[in-house]
Amino acid sequence: MVDTFDFQAEDFYIKNNYKVIGEIKDFPKGHRRIYFSKVLQ
């Protein structure tokens, strides 16, 4: 599991096949903290 903010590396994780498993809205105010996971093989 990794986490980032919507103003940081969100696009990087999505492009590299990470799946969003949760988020906290307005943390920090006006942004989202996003949690990702990826199955490693």
pTM: 0.87
d(CA 3, CA 14): 12
d(CA 14, CA 17): 5
User: Mean pLDDT for the chain?
Assistant: 97
At residue 22, the pLDDT reads 98
Mean pLDDT of the 2-10 span: 96
d(CA 41, CA 39): 7
